[in-house]
Amino acid sequence: MKQGLKFFFIHFFVIVFFVIAAIAYFSPVLQGKVIYQSDIAQYTGMAKEQNDFRKLNDEEPYWTNSAFGGMPTYQLGANYPYNYIKKLDRLIRFLPRPADYLFLYLIGFYILLCCLKVDYRLAVVGALAFGFSTYLILIIGAGHNAKAHALAYLPVLLAGIVLVFRKRYVWGFVLTALAMALEITANHYQMTYYFMLLVLVLGLVYLVYAIKQKQLKHFFISVGILVFAVTLGVATNATALMATKEYANWSTRGKSELTINPDGSPKENTGGLSKAYITNWSYGIAESLNLFVPRLFGGASQENLGEDSKSFNYLIDKGLPRSSALNFVSGVPLYWGAQPGTSGPAYLGAVVFFLFVLGLFLVKGKHKWWLVFGTLFSLVLSWGKNFSVLTDFMIDYFPLYDKFRAVSSIQVILELCVPILAILALKKLFMDKVPHGDKIKSLTYATGTVLGIGVLLFLFKGTFDFVGAADANLRMTGLEELPEMLRLDRKSVYTSDLLRSLAYVLVTAAFIWLYLKEKLKKNLLILTVGVLVVVDLVGVDLRYVNNDNFVSKRKMLEPFQENAADKLIAKDDGIFRVFDQTEGFDSAKTAYFHQSITGYHAAKPAGMQDLFDYHILNGNLSVLNMLNIKYVIRQDQEGNLFPIENPNANGNAWFIKQLKPVTNADAEIMALDSLDTKNIAIINTAKFTEVTQLEYQVDSTASISLTDYEPNHLTYASKNGNAGIAVFSEMYYKNGWNAYIDGRSSDYFKVDYVLRALKVPSGAHKIEFKFEPEVVAKGSKITLASTILLGLIIVGGLGFSFWKPKKEKEV
């Protein structure tokens, strides 16, 4: 009983401590403020129509027409029936955002270390090392909430796997299944996929040890239990996964039918994302050392240098007002690494890095090897195009690897592995059975190795040019030497941060040496290391994510403001699309106020992307007409935005006179060039063989108009003296959109590469398009059954724990 109470109070106060730590770092949440996250601002624009509809009708539309001409909302925060795991997730994340994500980082990693049989005091230090890792804080600042969310559950998932291999089968199963369910709910499958690569490494290492120790039966029992647990956890999210898979095939992540580029040259890759796109964000090989030294390669694309910088003093000497000079140095492009840009370094912490190296010498056994191999594997893969031999192999031959971009983000695996081995090193340091001589030797080797790396970085400093990709753009009249001043500032932060990291290493090594010489108590060393870890990491974190990032809640709820053009367009109460040429293709601002053909998403609708690449960027007005672009927003020489009305927009629907047949996707998209889309539509007869009549009569009295609009239910009234073909300015998406004529289901087909067309009988008719996704209905049944099964297993696990024989409990 006393042990149970002690157990409860220890973990209770640890949880309270983590709550305080998360709130302390993001303290403006106590004032009702929210962190400004650019990606979330874009998401708000994308989801505006969906959220408004949900609020008004208390139901899910599962479709929005406000972005990219129309797309499912499966990856825009759609709510699905029976998603009780999502409700559990919201209960766990009880703190205000973004403190909830930091709390999840901390408690998840603490659970993992406890399952690795680490003392709770060391587990707290490890949790702080993981939670305040600079990359994990950076992604919160950037608004990569789904990524942060998914990463937070990975330690818990790993904890379940560890428990199963420790023969704690029941609770290992429960924790794995529940963590997997929560992980999928977080909705960042790229992070889950990368984690599964680590699990493969772990499994191979465990298999080797199982063979050596003749424990193959236990190994395969554990694997079987884990496969069932993972399957069950995945199944509780069946609706989301099935819907996402369906949409992915329709998006830029799916296989393209096009075999030619816009210029007519052969297309190298038709299987989804190109290698260039996948590897655009590839970590530089030397740049990887910023895991140890934060600003080795400048830090961020926008770094605050302050008044002590060469750049600031140069600007003052050149006569710039102090306010202008401060404004410039507050967002200097200091980064000069291999990536197109970055929000900051993936800094692990000098103390954590040193302890990891100590673990390489001190820790023995299987845990060491899967952590080391996992770290190295993720590091090399993060180099992407800078280590193309492995990257190309993974893209070409490894299942699903080519479905994800920004390969540099696979470093999240080493972000997980490094602090684990660092804490296991401390655990070994405190174990009496480890020979004292081995501890001294390991400390000596680790200190020498890390200091050696520091010395080499000093020696090789002269081999770097410290020139950024955009430096040439900084050469302005009268400020020709500004790029050189920036280069000197990069050299300066390189040296200062290197000295900073080495200082933390020496201090940490000194305290460990004092402990080994019995001049420092164990608890004091743990406290000291914990403080050093936090001060080190938080000191760097605050350079990039701090109180200045917080704004009023309203600014995030309403991230975009109407401009003069938006206000003029808003006076038109029709249903049409707007194309803002000043925003480009990757912006959701227009979608926040109007129906748009642009948006912000990692998996864009492939058809609209193709239209942009092949026609819209080339100014093809006929394509804009068929998309019902009634207004185009432009900018005058003074910077004022104004709308231009397009009198030739085809409208919501129209009858055509002719179907022009083609036999493949290449011919279909190319045929749109200068096509009279009001009278002629392109049909791919290889796909729609049932359409045989190509000529139609359209008399002067023929009409079709949109009479009622909801994002998932469109109603039209048509009148035509002859049977004809009506074309609708809506995206063709066969998996969910159903057509009805006078209440009867009717087949429709695709024309003009992306649009819907329907054969309409003569006379007056009511035409409806309803979005009725079958995938939601099917997935919901699987979700409900799986959730019930998981709940029963959890209840059974609790019963087993409380009712198992007393003797077994004591064992």
Q: Is 577 helix (H, G, I), strand (E, B) or coil?
A: strand
Task: With a cut of 50, say whether residue 789 has pLDDT above it.
Answer: yes
Tell me the average pLDDT across 573-602.
92
Burial of 518 from C-beta contacts in 10 A (0-12 / 13-18 / 19+): exposed
Give the model's pLDDT for residue 409.
93
Per-residue confidence at 811, pLDDT binned at 50, 70, 90? Answer: very low
The least confident of 236-245, 542-551, 582-591 is 582-591
Give the model's pLDDT for residue 270.
59
Kind plus residue range of the DSSP H or E element containing 27: none
Main-chain phi, psi angles of 205, to 5 degrees: -65, -45
Q: Give the integer Cα–Cα distance in Å for 161 and 175.
A: 8
DSSP 8-state secondary structure symbol assigned to residue 335: -
Q: Are 294 and 134 in contact (CB under 8 A)?
A: yes
Q: Output the average pLDDT for the chain.
A: 92
Q: Give the integer Cα–Cα distance in Å for 303 and 313.
A: 16
DSSP 8-state secondary structure symbol assigned to residue 265: P
Give the model's pLDDT for residue 652.
97
The alpha carbon of residue 671 and the mean position of all alpha carbons in its chain are separated, in whole angstroms, by 36
**Percentage with pLDDT > 90 across the chain:** 78
Q: Are 598 and 590 in contact (CB under 8 A)?
A: yes
Give the model's pLDDT for residue 805.
53
Please name the residues in contact with 537: beta carbons below 8 A apart, sequence gap of 6 or more: 128, 129, 132, 133, 134, 347, 349, 352
Give the model's pLDDT for residue 810.
40
**Percentage with pLDDT > 70 across the chain:** 97
Q: Is 581 helix (H, G, I), strand (E, B) or coil?
A: coil
Residue 755: which of 652, 612, 649, 648 has the closest Cα?
652
Per-residue confidence at 271, pLDDT binned at 50, 70, 90? Answer: low
Tokens 């948006």, residue located: 599
Ranges of beta strands (E only) in 636-723 are 641-645, 653-656, 658-662, 680-684, 703-710, 713-720
Task: With a cut of 80, say whether residue 800 has pLDDT above it.
Answer: no
Q: Are 205 and 36 in contact (CB under 8 A)?
A: no
Please name the residues in contact with 231: beta carbons below 8 A apart, sequence gap of 6 or more: none
Q: How many CB atoms lie within 10 A of CB 49?
A: 23
Task: With a cut of 80, say whether residue 61 has pLDDT above it.
Answer: yes
Q: What is the amino acid identity at position 195?
A: F
Q: Are 499 and 513 in contact (CB under 8 A)?
A: no
Residue 591: which of 36, 147, 52, 139 has the closest Cα?
52
Residue 296: which of 326, 329, 338 has the closest Cα?
338
Give the model's pLDDT for residue 239.
96
Give the model's pLDDT for residue 807.
44
Answer with the residue of higher pLDDT: 477 or 164.
164
Kind plus residue range of the DSSP H or E element containing 8: helix 2-25
Task: With a cut of 80, say whether residue 273 has pLDDT above it.
Answer: no
Q: Give the integer Cα–Cα distance in Å for 788 and 238.
A: 13
Q: Give the integer Cα–Cα distance in Å for 582 and 563.
A: 12
Give the model's pLDDT for residue 366.
93
Q: Give the integer Cα–Cα distance in Å for 195 and 176.
A: 13
Tell me the average pLDDT across 152-175.
95
Tokens 């004022």, residue located: 640
Tokens 């089968």, residue located: 169
The gap between the terminal CA atoms of the chain, to the nearest Å, is 16
Task: With a cut of 70, say whether residue 11 has pLDDT above it.
Answer: yes
Per-residue confidence at 808, pLDDT binned at 50, 70, 90? Answer: very low
| 520-526 long-range Cβ contacts below 8 angstroms, 24+ apart | 522/430, 523/121, 526/121, 526/122, 526/125, 526/426
Give the model's pLDDT for residue 269.
67
Per-residue confidence at 149, pLDDT binned at 50, 70, 90? Answer: very high
Kind plus residue range of the DSSP H or E element containing 787: helix 774-803
Please name the residues in contact with 747: beta carbons below 8 A apart, sequence gap of 6 or more: 690, 739, 759
Tell me the average pLDDT across 663-687.
93
Q: Are 638 and 688 in contact (CB under 8 A)?
A: no
DSSP 8-state secondary structure symbol assigned to residue 118: -
Give the model's pLDDT for residue 809.
45
Give the model's pLDDT for residue 35.
92
Rounded to whole angstroms, the maximal C-alpha distance in the chain is 99
Q: Are 384 and 282 in contact (CB under 8 A)?
A: yes
Tokens 């370094």, residue located: 345
Q: How far is CA 451 from CA 288, 350, 357, 458, 501, in A?
A: 17, 11, 11, 11, 10
Per-residue confidence at 697, pLDDT binned at 50, 70, 90? Answer: confident
Beta-strand relationship, 680-684 and 658-662: parallel
Residue 708: which of 662, 663, 659, 767 has the closest Cα?
767
- Over residues 109-142, the pLDDT tens digits come to 999 999 999 999 999 999 999 999 999 999 999 8
Residue 560: which of 81, 117, 38 has the closest Cα?
38
* Two structure tokens written together for 564: 């003069």
Tell me the average pLDDT across 596-623.
93
Task: With a cut of 60, say whether residue 336 has pLDDT above it.
Answer: yes
